[in-house]
Chains A and B, each alone.
Chain A
C-alpha cells in the first residue's frame, strides 16, 4: 500500500490525513507539537481548564470539530500520529526522525509538507533584543500557557491581527501600555470602506475591538527604535 508521510499536524496536515483516511490510506503524521492542532488551533497541555470559546473565540466550533475528527482517526488506527517528533532529513524515500524514542527512520513514497508559517518581523533598531517577540509568539503564550510575555507590554505593527491581539491581552488582564499602529487613520478608512462592503460583520467586530482599546491605541506611528537595557526592551521611540 502507498505509504504517505504528512509533516505537520495543524489544520492543513490534519485535513490531509482525514482525506487520505477516507480514501482507505493510513498516513503517518509527524508533528513537533505535543498534541495535534498546530498554532492557530493549538491545544494547551492537559489539565488546563479554559473552554474552547475562551481560546479560539469565534473559531471555537471549527477548532473543536478539527480536533475531534483527528483524534477519532488516531484512536481508530486510521492515522498514525507521532507527536513531539522532528523531521531531520528527507532523502530517497526515507524520513530521518528525532522523537521521544530518539532517532529513527521511516520509509515513505508520497510526502505532504504542511509545516505552516512563522512570523516575519520588520527589523527596526532593537528588534533583535531578547524580550521582543513577534505577534504569533504572544498569541501562543496566551493560548497555550495562559501567560502574557511581559509585565508591561507595547504592541507595534499594523493590520487587523494587531487589534485582535491587543484586545485578547487587555481582556485577559495583561498590562498593555500602548498599541502603536503604523498605518494612519486616513489609509485605514480608505481600506475600511472596501472591507466593510465585502465583509461587513468582520469590519464591525474590528471597530468594536478598536473601541475597547481606547486611549491605548495610536494610529500613524513611525517607529524609530526600540530602547533596551541588559534585561530587554525598555521603551519605543
Chain B
C-alpha cells in the first residue's frame, strides 16, 4: 500500500492544520484526530514498543491502548482520542531507548 490508510469519504471541506511528523512538516484537516491525521499520510500509525511491527490503532474509542503517539517534548497521547492541533510536533517512534524493542 502506498499513501495513507484512511480514505476521506465525507467532510472534506475543512480548514488545513499544519503539524510536524517525525520532524517533517505535514498537514491534516481541522477536526481530525491525531490518528486520522497520521493515517491519511501513512498506512502505519506508530512503531510498537514490544516488537518490530507497526500498529495502526484498533478500537478508535480510547479503550485498547494501541494508538499511543509520542510528542517531541516527551508526553504520550492517545491518537484516536486527541484532536490534531496547529503546531503539534509528533513522533511515531518512542523517544527513549528503553521504550524501544
Contacts and interface: CB of A to CB of B under 8 A. Distances in A.
A134 B59 contact: yes
A141 B14 CA distance: 16
B61 A141 contact: no
22 contacts: A34-B81, A45-B31, A45-B83, A118-B61, A119-B59, A130-B45, A130-B56, A131-B44, A134-B58, A136-B60, A140-B61, A141-B36, A145-B11, A146-B11, A147-B7, A147-B36, A147-B40, A149-B6, A150-B5, A172-B9, A231-B54, A232-B44
Given A46-B31, A48-B31, A130-B55, A118 B7 contact: no
Contact of A131 (B5, B36, B63): B5
Interface of A: 32-34, 39, 44-50, 54, 84, 86, 116, 118-119, 129-131, 133-134, 136-137, 140-142, 145-151, 172-175, 230-232
Interface residues of B, number: 37
A3 B40 CA distance: 44
B83 A231 contact: no
Contacts of A116: 61
Given A48-B11, A86-B62, 11 more contacts: A45-B83, A47-B14, A130-B45, A130-B54, A130-B57, A141-B60, A147-B36, A172-B10, A230-B54, A231-B44, A232-B5
Contacts of B3: 151
Contacts of B13: 49
Interface string B51-90: 0011111111111100000000000000001010000000
